[in-house]
Homo-oligomer: A and B are copies of this chain.
């Protein structure tokens, strides 16, 4: 996106979308920064104060997130040129990850019930996320999942090796 100069680990960073995603958001601070972005925080200092993160680390993470394309830097004032960081479409689509993290924490780590509840605005009731089958139209437990290679698996396996 930004201009990533074609990293060392070439074409397919990893044959796994989870690993690829983690290259971008697989870091405690990055996720927390994105959480703040979803909560509407956009300015360097807002985020810094909220997370109590060292400035150097915040600057570094923001730069990387912008480079990756999940945040965009917008000039919101000219004279002392100031920028704020906003979620891009790519960034907004990270929400299922955050919601999943939140739900899991709610369920297993919150003695007194969830500290925050997400609400589906149009109807005002609570959001829940579940594994969903588009064919059945039903939700199901994690145990009902299998996997198979998808289209992107081609060209990853050197045809010799087959374990």
- Mark A residues whose CB is within 8 Å of B: 12-13, 15-22, 24-28, 31-32, 35, 38-39, 69, 90, 92-123, 125-136, 139-140, 142-156
Residues of B within 8 A of A130 (CB): 96, 129, 132
Q: Say how far A162's CB is from chain B's closest CB, in angstroms.
A: 16
Provide the bound-state CA to CA distance between A148 and B114, in Å. Answer: 10
Cβ–Cβ contact A153 & B93, under 8 A: no
Residues of B within 8 A of A111 (CB): 152
Provide the bound-state CA to CA distance between A93 and B16, in Å. Answer: 20
Cβ–Cβ contact A128 & B132, under 8 A: yes
Residue contacts A-B, CB under 8 angstroms, 12 given: A16-B102, A16-B116, A17-B116, A22-B101, A93-B107, A96-B142, A99-B100, A119-B146, A120-B136, A121-B144, A123-B135, A128-B133
Selected contact of A21 from candidates B22, B109, B148, CB within 8 Å:
B109
